[in-house]
Amino acid sequence: MGQVTFSDVSKRFTLRVDGALHHVQAMDRVSFSVADGEIVALIGPSGCGKTTALRVAMGLDPSTSGRVTVDGHEVKGCGHDRGMVFQHAELLPWLSARQNVMFGLEMKGMRGAELRDTAEKYLELVGLKDSQNRRPHQLSGGMKQRVGIARALAIDPSVLLMDEPFGALDAQTRESLQAELLDIHARTGKTILFVTHDLDEAVLIADRIVVMKQGRVEEIMKVPLPRPRGDLGLVRGTPEFAETRYKVWQALHDGAGLH
């Protein structure tokens, strides 16, 4: 299970700039769905509403109209059926890597030996078993985000929501984490909805790409690359990759607003 559906979701913000009220239409009747076990990338220029969409799906922000459902249940606030991976990992700095993972589990009601074992299991999954006692500032950026992923996965959500999870990392770390995410996906079969502004990342990882612009869904594209993707370096060299990447690029640069 792990199906996400956006039906006509709109979101308006009101900002006060120099005393004047500005209405911002962050999402305008956004509709798309993510199938069970699928990886969908939300891509678009900054301010296109992609992060807002993710936050609405997580239940951190309410939508103005429309609704998001996860496995048929309407999203009303946060829930353990969704696991969020934040842009800058957002680990609690006073807790060790393991305690950070345990925090999410405790909130789900897990206690005792099971708690520790589960946290260790997921840290092992992201390759951090040996660093589990380190505190966040003793971890590199890539390691922090691995802990962030472990924390979200540990509560065994039906959907993993990721907000530009690798955007703040250097290119090499980003590539290895992308490969690792695909590996984790192959092993856990989680549904993943992730936000990115990186074309390559979207094409490399996703099954489908939702292109957003000015709060609207511009286009939804299938990525014609087989699973498992294998060596991502090789995938980058395939004509399918180049073609899809170009199509997404076109979708981002054509259309309303730029002509």
- Binding interface with other proteins (CB under 8 A): 58-60, 77-80, 82-84, 86, 88, 90, 92-94, 103-104, 107-108, 135, 137-138, 155
Cβ of residue 146: shortest distance to other proteins, in angstroms?
16
Q: Are 73 and 98 in contact (CB under 8 A)?
A: no
Q: How far is CA 246 from CA 155, 179, 180, 199, 254, in A?
A: 37, 22, 25, 9, 12
Closest by Cα among 150, 179, 175 to 162: 150
- Closest contact distance (angstroms) between CB of 212 and other proteins is 22
CB of 94 to other proteins, least distance (A): 5
Angle between helices 97-107 and 112-125 (to 10 degrees): 120
Of the two residues 12 and 80, which places its CB atom closer to other proteins in the complex? 80
Nearest to other proteins of 35, 95 (CB atom)? 95
Task: Return the structure tokens found at 60.
Answer: 């951190």
- Which residue number, 1 or 107, has a Cβ lying nearer to other proteins? 107
Q: How far is the CB of 129 from other proteins (least distance, A)?
A: 22
Distance CA 53, CA 59 (A): 10
30: number of Cβ within 10 Å = 26
From 32, 22, 33, 28, select the one nearest 10 (Cα to Cα). Answer: 28
Judged by CB, which is closer to other proteins: 61, or 219?
61
When the beta carbons of 61 and 200 are compared against other proteins, the nearer one is 61
| Least distance (Å) between residue 176 CB and other proteins | 24
Pairing mode of beta strands 159-163, 82-85 = parallel
User: What's the closest the beta carbon of residue 245 comes to other proteins, in angstroms?
Assistant: 31
Closer to other proteins at the Cβ: 2 or 59? 59
Give the whole-angstrom CA distance, residue 149 versus residue 20: 40
What is the number of alpha carbons within 13 Å of residue 241 lying toward its C-beta?
A: 16
